[in-house]
Amino acid sequence: MLGARTQRKPLSKGEIFEVLRNQRRRYVLQYLKQDGRPVELGDLAQQVAAWEYETTLEGVTPEQRKRVYTTLQQTHLPKMDAAGILRFDADEGVIEPTDRTEDLNIYLEIVPGREIAWRELYLSLGAIACALVAALWLEIYPLTLVSELAWAGLISLTVTGTAIAHIYYERNMRLGHGEQPPELSYGTDD
């Protein structure tokens, strides 16, 4: 086991985004979050290479694995270790998640390619609801054919349904959920 966990000051958003801006580091987190156990550097490099080269574990060439292994060992894992996002024992070649690994969930929503962000969807729903309320207040026909209570119910159901869809979708877009990173599942660009 890699040593006791220590309490550190919280990471700033800038530090978190600096670490997470690299796809290979997000792949490391995906692998660590799948079962939360310490992993061997060789196993990690094999899986990250498979994701990067879009192949199976068996399809990774020795050159691909070595390329990933070397950059993980020399660059990415030390940077993540220094931030406390994981613990990397270079002598043993073992990587272990830390408490901070779980704390990153709020920053890890992946918005695939050309999709609208949830905050924009909620803003749009709010604007539509405000316009509808104003139209009802001004008694604009044909909106007045339906009762105000029915409109309030429709708005409430729409917002609630959207929130349920958001929760479901967000869970599927977290690193560590599923067999592969969300970026591969939903075809995002880095």
pLDDT tens per residue, range 24-73: 998 998 888 887 789 999 999 999 999 999 899 999 999 999 999 999 99
**Residue 190: its pLDDT value, please?**
44
Pick the CATH number of 13-108 from 3.40.50, 1.10.10, 3.30.70, 2.60.40: 1.10.10
Based on its alpha-carbon atoms, the radius of gyration of the chain, rounded to whole angstroms, reads: 23
Domain-wise residue ranges, the chain:
13-108, 118-172
Helix runs in the chain, H state only? 13-20, 23-35, 41-52, 62-71, 77-82, 99-103, 118-137, 148-172, 182-185
Q: What is the pLDDT of residue 2?
A: 47
**How far is 182 from 174, CA to CA, in rounded Å?**
7
pTM strictly above 0.75 = no
Question: d(Cα 14, Cα 34) in Å, to the nearest integer?
Answer: 25
pLDDT of residue 5: 47
Mind listing the pLDDT tens digit for each residue in 142-159? Answer: 988 999 899 999 999 999
